[in-house]
Amino acid sequence: MQFFETTVYITSTSICLILAIVLLTLGTKQTATQNPYNQIKRMLAYSALLDMTTNISIIYCINHQIDFLILDSFFTPSIYYLELLIMSYAMFRLIRSKLANKRNAKIMILPLFLFVVIYGIAYYIYSGSSFFSMGSYQLFVITPIAETLSKVIGVGVFVEFLLCVFALAKEANKYSHKVTNIYSGKAAVNGKKLSYLVYCFIGFFALAGINFLWENKVANIAFIILTTIIFCIAAIIIINLQKVYQQTGELNDYQASQGRGANSASTQYAQIASNRVYVSLNRIISEWVVDSNKSYLHHDITLHQVADELNIDPQQLSDFLNSVYQMSFNTWIEHLRVEEVKHLLKENPQLPLNEAAALGAFANSDEMRRNFKRYTGETIAKYRKRIVENKH
Q: What is the DSSP string of 53-71?
A: HHHHHHHHHHHTT--GGGG
Q: What is the distance between the alpha carbons of residues 358 and 349, in angstroms, rounded to a whole number? A: 16
The Cα 384–Cα 260 span in angstroms is 48
Q: What is the dihedral of CA 227, 232, 235, 240, to 10 degrees?
A: -140
* Cβ atoms 224, 12 nearer than 8 A: yes
Give the helix, strand, coil percentages of the chain, each rounded to 5.
Answer: 80, 0, 20
Could you tell me which CATH class the domain 262-391 is placed in?
Answer: mainly alpha
Measured CA to CA, the distance from residue 25 to residue 375 in angstroms comes to 47
Helices 303-310 and 314-323 meet at what angle, rounded to 10? 100
Of 328, 320, 216, 212, nearest to 270 by C-alpha is 320
Q: Are 65 and 5 in contact (CB under 8 A)?
A: no
Residue 139 corresponds to which amino acid?
L
Contact (CB, 8 A) for 115 and 153 = yes
CA torsion 77-79-85-88 (nearest 10°) is: -90
Of 297, 295, 325, the C-alpha closest to 181 is: 325
pTM of the entire structure?
Answer: 0.79
**CATH class belonging to 2-252:** mainly alpha
Distance CA 145, CA 196 (A): 42
Count of Cβ atoms closer than 10 Å to residue 274 Cβ? 7
Q: Report whether 339 contacts 223 (CB < 8 A).
A: no
Dist. CA 357–CA 315, nearest whole Å: 30
**Using an 8 Å Cβ cutoff, are 3 and 63 in contact?**
no
Measured from the Cβ of residue 323, the count of other Cβ atoms closer than 10 Å reads 19
Domain ranges of the chain: 2-252, 262-391
Task: State the amino acid at position 243 in one-letter form.
Answer: K
Residue of 43, 65, 77, 42 lying closest to 134 (CA atoms): 65
Concatenated DSSP letters of 367-381: HHHHHHHHHHSS-HH
Contacts of the segment 33-40: beta carbons below 8 A, 24+ positions apart:
33/245, 33/246, 33/249, 34/242, 34/246, 36/93, 37/242, 37/245, 37/246, 39/90, 39/93, 40/90, 40/93, 40/94, 40/238
- Say if CB 309 and CB 350 are below 8 A apart: no
Residue-wise pLDDT tens for the chain (392 aa)?
678 888 988 999 999 999 999 988 876 555 544 577 888 889 999 999 998 998 999 898 888 888 888 888 888 889 989 999 999 999 998 888 888 888 888 888 999 999 999 998 998 888 776 677 888 888 888 889 999 998 898 888 889 889 999 999 999 999 988 888 888 888 888 888 888 888 888 888 888 777 767 767 777 788 888 888 888 888 888 888 887 787 776 666 555 555 554 444 444 444 444 466 777 888 899 999 998 889 999 988 899 999 999 998 888 888 888 888 889 999 999 999 999 999 999 999 889 999 999 999 998 999 999 999 999 999 999 999 888 888 76
Q: How many residues does the chain have?
A: 392
| C-alpha span between 71 and 17 (Å, rounded) | 21
Integer Cα distance of 25 and 41 in angstroms: 10
Cα–Cα distances in Å, from 12 out to 122, 128, 163, 221, 330? 33, 36, 28, 10, 42
